């Protein structure tokens, strides 16, 4: 593996949704500094408004980059490489973040790498500091379950840049279902953490809810029907506010249904990837403790480790973007992606691989 000393420190930017983030990493993947600001203005609107998010990124990013440099004790001239999320995500935010990073790279005469947001999530567990407390080094191949607000898929991670997508959502992702059900229960936005908290006070057997695709071949996901089933249970209450007991029981029953589906899909995914050295969960919904516990039980049955990044690295962050860039640079590449265009949709199967990388999809 080539030395990364000449291409670090590396500064990474993440602006794919409503979190503005910046991080600086050294050649060993050590996080020298990081900063993240979540945009609170969307809460009152019930969800992320793309135009507002893009403008906020534009306002926040310059000061956030300066803060990150200051925390690392570095100047812009010390940065040897720049990286940014180039897709998938909200196009306005992607344009702001990637163009800002490109501008910094051009001003310093340094290279720029455009990173796939999904790749960042599924490679995060390999960050040395991410598993320091576990005493484990994650080796290829491993099964990654990405469970976030906009994505839900199973990927066999063969090596950096070499991925097999085993299955994905055919409608709503798990994160979208959590947010929509939370809104139905009057919990506001973002709803995932609030729903998880409410569920601790409820009976998860109170309501019989469907487990979409459970037991079916493959490991695709579908959560739209589950979300609709919750909606129908709420309909008889009309515009009246749900009692705390009803809301808690619905939250718990919904969360259990999602966990049952995820565990079943993990079993099927491992059948498609029997050489997996570990079961990894990543993405914002990976912070859900009930989901983690169910997936951990699946891993135990298969006698492989269950691994998840620290909670702060489950949600969108710039550390994962910087680490994905380092993983690719470690392959011996010295790319300059200054012409790469932001993409709102960018499946791993369409990832522009560097030398020695490849992408596979199942037939």
* β pairing state of 162-168 and 152-159: antiparallel
Give the closest residue to 206 by CA, choosing from 133, 160, 170, 256: 256
* β pairing state of 10-14 and 19-25: antiparallel
What pLDDT, on the 0 to 100 scale, is given for residue 356? Answer: 38
Measured CA to CA, the distance from residue 203 to residue 64 in angstroms comes to 43
The answer to whether 29 and 127 are in contact (CB under 8 A) is: yes
Give the closest residue to 294 by CA, choosing from 206, 204, 208, 185: 204
Binding-site residues for Fe cation sit at 117, 121, 316
What pLDDT, on the 0 to 100 scale, is given for residue 169? Answer: 92
Cβ-proximal residues to 248 (8 Å cutoff; 6+ apart), any chain: 198, 199, 201, 202, 203
Binding-site residues sit at 117, 121, 146-150, 179, 192, 196, 288, 316
Binding-site residues for substrate sit at 146-150, 179, 192, 196, 288
What pLDDT, on the 0 to 100 scale, is given for residue 104? Answer: 97
What pLDDT, on the 0 to 100 scale, is given for residue 353? Answer: 47
* β pairing state of 162-168 and 31-38: unpaired
Measured CA to CA, the distance from residue 239 to residue 251 in angstroms comes to 18
- Strands of the sheet with 31-38, listed across from one edge: 31-38, 19-25, 10-14, 81-87, 112-116
For residue 221, what is the DSSP state? B
- Report H helices in the chain: 50-72, 91-108, 117-123, 174-184, 192-199, 224-234, 244-272, 289-301, 311-314, 318-329
Three-class SS state of 25 = strand
Measured CA to CA, the distance from residue 168 to residue 129 in angstroms comes to 29
> What domains lie within the chain, and their CATH numbers?
5-125+313-361 (3.30.420.40), 139-308 (3.30.420.40)
What pLDDT, on the 0 to 100 scale, is given for residue 91? Answer: 95
Classify burial at 217, counting beta carbons within 10 Å of its beta carbon; exposed 0-12, middle 13-18, buried 19 or more: exposed
pLDDT digits (tens, 9 = 90+) for 165-224: 999 999 988 988 999 999 999 997 778 899 999 999 999 999 999 999 999 999 999 999
What pLDDT, on the 0 to 100 scale, is given for residue 224? Answer: 92
pLDDT in tens, the chain (363 residues): 446 777 789 999 999 988 999 999 999 999 999 999 987 666 656 667 888 889 999 999 999 999 999 999 999 999 999 999 999 999 999 999 999 999 999 999 999 999 999 999 999 999 988 776 666 778 999 999 999 877 899 999 999 889 999 999 999 889 889 999 999 999 977 788 999 999 999 999 999 999 999 999 999 999 999 999 999 999 999 888 899 999 999 999 999 999 999 999 999 999 999 999 999 999 888 889 999 999 999 999 999 999 988 888 988 999 999 999 999 898 877 666 788 899 999 888 776 544 433 333 333
């Amino acid at each position: 593996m080539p030395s990364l000393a000449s291409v670090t420190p590396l500064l990474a930017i993440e602006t794919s949704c409503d979190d503005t983030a910046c991080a600086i990493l050294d050649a060993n993947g050590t996080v020298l500094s990081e900063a993240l600001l979540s945009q609170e203005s969307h809460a009152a609107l019930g969800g992320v408004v793309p135009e507002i998010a893009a403008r906020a990124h534009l306002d926040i990013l310059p000061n956030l980059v300066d803060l990150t440099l200051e925390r690392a004790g570095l100047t812009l001239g010390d940065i040897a490489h720049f990286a940014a999320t180039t897709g998938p995500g909200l196009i306005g935010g992607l344009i702001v973040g990637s163009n800002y990073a490109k501008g910094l790279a051009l001003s310093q005469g340094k290279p720029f790498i455009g990173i796939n947001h999904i790749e960042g999530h599924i490679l995060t567990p390999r960050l040395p500091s991410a598993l320091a407390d576990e005493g484990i080094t994650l080796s290829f191949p491993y099964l990654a379950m990405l469970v976030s607000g906009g994505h839900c898929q199973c990927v066999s991670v063969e090596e950096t840049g070499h991925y097999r997508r085993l299955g994905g959502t055919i409608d709503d992702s798990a994160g979208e279902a959590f947010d929509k059900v939370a809104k139905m229960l009057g919990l506001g936005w973002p709803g995932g953490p609030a729903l998880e908290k409410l569920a601790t006070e409820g009976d998860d057997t109170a309501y019989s809810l469907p487990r979409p695709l459970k037991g079916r071949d493959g490991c695709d996901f579908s959560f739209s029907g589950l979300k609709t089933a919750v909606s129908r249970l709420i309909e008889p209450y009309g515009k009246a506010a749900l009692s705390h007991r009803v809301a808690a029981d619905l939250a718990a029953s919904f969360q259990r249904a999602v966990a049952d589906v995820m565990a079943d899909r993990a079993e099927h995914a491992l059948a498609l990837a029997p050489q997996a050295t570990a079961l990894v969960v990543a993405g914002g919904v990976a912070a859900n403790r009930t989901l983690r516990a169910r997936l951990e039980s699946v891993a135990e049955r298969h006698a492989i480790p269950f691994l998840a990044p620290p909670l702060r690295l489950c949600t969108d962050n710039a550390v994962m973007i910087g680490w994905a860039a380092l993983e690719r640079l470690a392959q011996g590449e010295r790319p300059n992606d200054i012409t790469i265009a932001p993409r709102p949709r960018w499946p791993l199967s369409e990832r522009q691989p560097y030398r020695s990388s490849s992408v596979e999809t199942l037939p």
